[in-house]
């Protein structure tokens, strides 16, 4: 009757949505203070003030027609130039504006990139733990998601990855800083990954691409740096979002950038444009393209996230939880004391703590705690986490 | 290497884009006044003042986190309720907010609806003349576009449509007021279409859907009314956009609404949600969802378009062109004197007139003139159209 896959994907209650429904009902019954929602990566710090000022100026601009009109499908030149300048400045890497394509956020960027690359049956390697939507995008494009388990401390397990490469391998999706683990892949690891993909590509006569999903790129703590993957591997497609950096998650603005060093980069860029068009993306929201043009170099209030991270990490550790200290993003990934992550999430929600079991992130046995919330909420939640741990 | 279809779709220079490039070069060379761009449906009237005021208020709202945060994938309840109320008021039709799904414009709504319905090989009937992107969306979803020629005055040719229905028919895409012809399908025609689809559906044991693409619904002239298709046919999916009504084409805001009378409407709605998710749409831009919630009942400056339409139509007729008077939207569809629409477009551009050949709209022999431009431009273009006609 309808498309079976779409029906299934639409029906399957997202665990996060279910948790949110539970939270809403609990808040109705017991009051707002009885719910501590750590389930969603919705930034808790306001948009940088320059973003807010620019938005007001754009909204007030008298010539509404020129502000809100269609842009080219690729996006405004001024936005693409600002992005290119930002990449040059931050990473000393030359990403030409001609190979940048503005999108409705990183999810659109991922779906578009995957559709641009994928012929039916192509394999996409996903490095656990990974964002729940990757396999959905890959399957929708007619591809096959291949899950590779993680190594110690949520690093990429290169041996498993090597074993997963076949003549049908099209790309590896890499996400650093990582959602859900908070891991930043080191330069050493990325160099090894790059050598491995080049070696295997040569052996198999393949071009293997890295799709680098980087929405958390600017969220790194304790002076950690996030290596820029195109500097280490030529066949790289960057998927970026301003959702977290500029605290605009609902406004859907991000981009795809194809490395100028990638094999047949111009042809690949045509395929990206084709996929954007064929999936119904006409252009990224125009007013937020203009925001990017003016505010690309703004950064979020990292200090607030850093403080949250410390409070949450220390609190969870002293409550007795096992947890790798996160280096970036705004997630902590804690171990279920008995290995049952769904059980931990269920126990937690009885106390009003909403945390997401790692099963859908291909990391059963762990739960994700999003600490992008008010500091006060974190402080008040810690005794409950203690109680939760003591229930084991 | 890459996805062949996406590469092809990305590469194929859109005729409109090509015309725009030509226009830009000519403007550089000969000055802005030497180019009369009638190639694109970008509204020329500003957004209604309530939209502009609401946007400023939202931009100034101090709690940026709550304004710009993620909404549910389906969209804000307040926006869906406003849409439902608007439909009730305008068409006396009950469209429940639960069956409305906010999208990044009508193109996203179309791509999502087609992907929700389509299993590989399903056929989608397109009634010429039609929007160039329909076949792209259908093919990308694995479907087969079936083009049906138009009857007199750009009406739907019901005999041809009947002959095109097969056991693989999944849906008919209907667009009224029509891009590119400006035709509004009459109530009588829609009743016949409805009977035909019900009869054929019964004969073949099929549920045939209408996808009603309605971005121009509010743009009707001379008191013409636009019949609301869900009132005539149960299996209807409405794809709507605020691009034209609220003059926000670059901001990407619209919706899909599934008629509550449609067969398995709830299941279909799940498939819609699944397709939205699988194509990378997380939510429609949040700030414009809020605009819809507050400004759903606003209308554009119809008088300006009506005046343009009259000036343009009268001018073209007195220049000697053959043209059916358009009833809605903001397009005129003129006949190439020698039947060669590409030739007419080429001759026109030599005079600085950018008009789009109808070939990509499945209507060779005609050219589309978008009259959503400054009145002054229209007035100054008329002598050139006269000159163009005289060149034959």
What is the pTM assigned to this prediction?
0.97
Q: Quick one: average pLDDT of B262-271?
A: 97
The rounded percent of chain A whose pLDDT value lies above 90 is 93
Instruction: Considering only the beta carbons, identify the residue of A51, A139, A277 that sits closest to B10.
Output: A277
Class assignment of domain B1-392? alpha beta
- The answer to whether B243 and B105 have CB atoms below 8 angstroms apart is yes
Q: What are the tokens at A24?
A: 């809403």
Sorted by sequence, the CB contacts under 8 Å of residue B281 that are 6+ apart come out as A104, A107, A108, B73, B103, B104, B108, B112
CATH, domain A70-295, list 3.30.9.10, 3.40.640.10, 3.40.50.2020, 3.40.50.300: 3.40.640.10
Q: What b/e string do you get for A273-299 counting C-beta neighbours within 10 Å, with b at 16 or more?
A: bbbbbbbbbbbbbbbbbbbbbbbbebe
Instruction: Considering only the beta carbons, identify the residue of A2, A43, A55 that sits closest to B116.
Output: A2
Look at residue A41 and tell me whether its pLDDT is greater than 90: no
Q: How far is B392 from chain A (nearest CA, A)?
A: 34
Which residue of B lies nearest to A253 if distances are taken between CA atoms?
A: B285
Question: Which residues of A are less than 8 Å from B8 in CB distance?
Answer: 274
Q: pLDDT category, B118, cuts 50, 70, 90?
A: very high
| Domain(s) of CATH 3.40.640.10: residues in chain A | 70-295
Look at residue A123 and tell me whether its pLDDT is greater than 90: yes
Fold of A4-47+301-390: 3.90.1150
Question: Which residues of B are less than 8 Å from A289 in CB distance?
Answer: 250
- The answer to whether B180 and B328 have CB atoms below 8 angstroms apart is no
Q: From the CB of residue A207, how many other CB atoms can be counted at a distance below 10 Å?
A: 19
* Residue range A361-373, pLDDT digits in tens: 999 999 999 999 9
Can you give the pLDDT at residue B14?
A: 73
Instruction: Considering only the beta carbons, identify the residue of A46, A59, A133 that sits closest to B64.
Output: A46
Asked if A267 reaches chain B (Cβ–Cβ under 8 Å), the answer is yes
- The answer to whether B185 and B174 have CB atoms below 8 angstroms apart is yes
Can you give the pLDDT at residue B17?
A: 76
| Domain(s) of CATH 3.90.1150.10: residues in chain A | 4-47+301-390
Q: Quick one: average pLDDT of A135-142?
A: 98
Distance in angstroms (rounded) separating the CA atoms of residues B274 and B100 = 14
Which residue of A lies nearest to B281 if distances are taken between CA atoms?
A: A108
Can you give the pLDDT at residue B251?
A: 96
Asked if B8 reaches chain A (Cβ–Cβ under 8 Å), the answer is yes
Q: From the CB of residue A390, how many other CB atoms can be counted at a distance below 10 Å?
A: 9
* Residue range A246-261, pLDDT digits in tens: 999 999 999 999 999 9
Q: Which residues are B174's β-sheet partners?
A: B212
Asked if B250 reaches chain A (Cβ–Cβ under 8 Å), the answer is yes
* Residue range A158-177, pLDDT digits in tens: 999 999 999 999 999 999 99
Distance in angstroms (rounded) separating the CA atoms of residues A337 and A385 = 13
Q: Quick one: average pLDDT of A301-315?
A: 95
Look at residue A355 and tell me whether its pLDDT is greater than 90: yes
Asked if A286 reaches chain B (Cβ–Cβ under 8 Å), the answer is yes
Q: How far is A390 from chain B (nearest CA, A)?
A: 34
Asked if B108 reaches chain A (Cβ–Cβ under 8 Å), the answer is yes
Question: Which residues of B are less than 8 Å from A118 in CB distance?
Answer: 3
Instruction: Enter the DSSP assignment of A44.
Output: -
- Cα–Cα distance list, B303 to B216, B272, B310, B332, B354 (Å): 15, 36, 11, 17, 24
Asked if A5 reaches chain B (Cβ–Cβ under 8 Å), the answer is yes
User: What value does the mean pLDDT of chain B take?
Assistant: 96
Sorted by sequence, the CB contacts under 8 Å of residue A79 that are 6+ apart come out as A102, A289, A290, A292, A293, A296
Can you give the pLDDT at residue A219?
A: 95
State whether A278 and B136 contact (CB < 8 Å).
Answer: yes
Q: pLDDT category, B264, cuts 50, 70, 90?
A: very high
* Residue range A332-348, pLDDT digits in tens: 999 999 999 999 999 99
More confident residue, B41 or A243: A243
- Cα–Cα distance list, A331 to A27, A75, A312, A383, B24 (Å): 23, 31, 10, 19, 48
Q: What is the 3-state secondary structure (H, E, C) of A290-346?
A: HHHHHHCCCCCCHHHHHHHHHHHHHHHHHHCCCECCCCECCEEEEECCCCCHHHHHH
Look at residue B355 and tell me whether its pLDDT is greater than 80: yes
Q: pLDDT category, A31, cuts 50, 70, 90?
A: very high
Q: What is the CA angle A67-A69-A70, rounded to 5? A: 130
Residues in chain B: 392
Q: How far is B273 from chain A (nearest CA, A)?
A: 5
State whether B42 and A70 contact (CB < 8 Å).
Answer: yes
How large is the ipTM?
Answer: 0.96
Q: What are the tokens at A95?
A: 């990403």
- What SS3 class is residue A24? helix
End-to-end CA distance of chain B: 47
Instruction: Considering only the beta carbons, identify the residue of B115, B136, B251 that sits closest to A68.
Output: B251
- What SS3 class is residue A109? helix
Question: Which residues of A are less than 8 Å from B71 in CB distance?
Answer: 250
Secondary structure (DSSP) of B186-237: -HHHHHHHHHHHHHHHHHHT--PEEEEE-TTTT-B-TT-----GGGT-SSEE
DSSP H helices, B31-153, are: 49-60, 64-68, 77-91, 105-117, 134-140
Look at residue A9 and tell me whether its pLDDT is greater than 90: yes
Q: Quick one: average pLDDT of A238-247?
A: 96
Can you give the pLDDT at residue B336?
A: 98
Question: Which residues of A are less than 8 Å from B271 in CB distance?
Answer: 2-3, 6-7, 10
Interface probe, candidates A1, A4, A5, A6, chain B, greatest B C-beta count within 10 A: A6
* Residue range B17-56, pLDDT digits in tens: 788 889 989 999 999 999 999 998 889 999 999 999 999 9
Q: What are the tokens at B110?
A: 């179309």
Question: Which residues of A are less than 8 Å from B274 in CB distance?
Answer: 3, 5-11
Interchain CB contacts (distance < 8 Å): A and B: 256
* Residue range A111-120, pLDDT digits in tens: 999 999 999 9
Can you give the pLDDT at residue A18?
A: 83
Q: What b/e string do you get for B311-340 counting C-beta neighbours within 10 Å, with b at 16 or more?
A: bbbebbeebebebbebbbbbbbbbbbbeee
Asked if A98 reaches chain B (Cβ–Cβ under 8 Å), the answer is no
- What SS3 class is residue A37? strand
């Amino acid at each position: 009757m309808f498309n079976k896959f779409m029906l299934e994907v639409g029906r399957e209650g997202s665990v996060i949505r279910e948790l949110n429904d539970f939270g809403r009902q609990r808040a109705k019954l017991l009051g707002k203070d009885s719910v501590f929602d750590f389930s969603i990566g919705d930034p808790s710090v306001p948009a940088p003030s320059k973003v807010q000022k620019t938005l007001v100026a754009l909204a007030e601009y008298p010539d509404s027609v020129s502000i809100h009109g269609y842009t080219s499908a690729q996006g405004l030149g001024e936005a693409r130039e600002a992005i290119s300048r930002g990449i040059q400045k931050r990473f000393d890497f030359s990403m030409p504006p001609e190979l940048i394509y503005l999108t409705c956020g990183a999810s659109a960027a991922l779906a578009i990139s995957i559709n641009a690359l994928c012929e039916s049956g192509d394999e996409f390697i996903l490095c656990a733990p990974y964002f729940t939507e990757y396999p959905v995008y890959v399957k929708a494009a007619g591809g096959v998601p291949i899950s590779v388990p993680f190594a110690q401390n949520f690093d990429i397990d290169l041996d498993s990855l090597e074993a997963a490469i076949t003549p049908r391998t099209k790309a590896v999706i890499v996400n650093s800083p990582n959602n859900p683990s908070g891991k930043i892949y080191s330069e050493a690891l990325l160099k090894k990954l790059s050598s491995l993909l080049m070696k295997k590509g040569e052996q198999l006569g393949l071009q293997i691409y890295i799709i680098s999903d980087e929405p958390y790129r600017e969220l790194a703590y304790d002076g950690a740096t996030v290596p820029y993957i195109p500097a280490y591997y030529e066949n790289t497609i960057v998927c970026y979002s301003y959702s977290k950096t500029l605290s605009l998650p609902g406004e859907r603005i991000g981009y795809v950038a194809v490395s100028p060093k990638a094999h047949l980069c111009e042809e690949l860029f045509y395929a990206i444009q084709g996929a954007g068009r064929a999936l119904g993306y006409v252009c990224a929201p125009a007013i937020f393209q203009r925001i990017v043009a003016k505010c690309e170099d703004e950064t979020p209030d990292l200090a607030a996230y850093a403080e949250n991270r410390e409070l949450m990490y220390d609190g969870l550790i002293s409550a007795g939880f096992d947890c790798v200290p996160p280096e970036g993003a705004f997630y902590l990934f804690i171990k279920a004391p008995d290995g049952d992550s769904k059980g931990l999430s269920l126990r937690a929600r009885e106390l009003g703590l909403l945390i997401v079991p790692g099963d859908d992130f291909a990391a059963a046995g762990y739960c994700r705690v999003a600490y992008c919330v008010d500091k006060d909420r974190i402080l008040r939640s810690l005794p409950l986490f203690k109680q939760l741990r003591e229930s084991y």
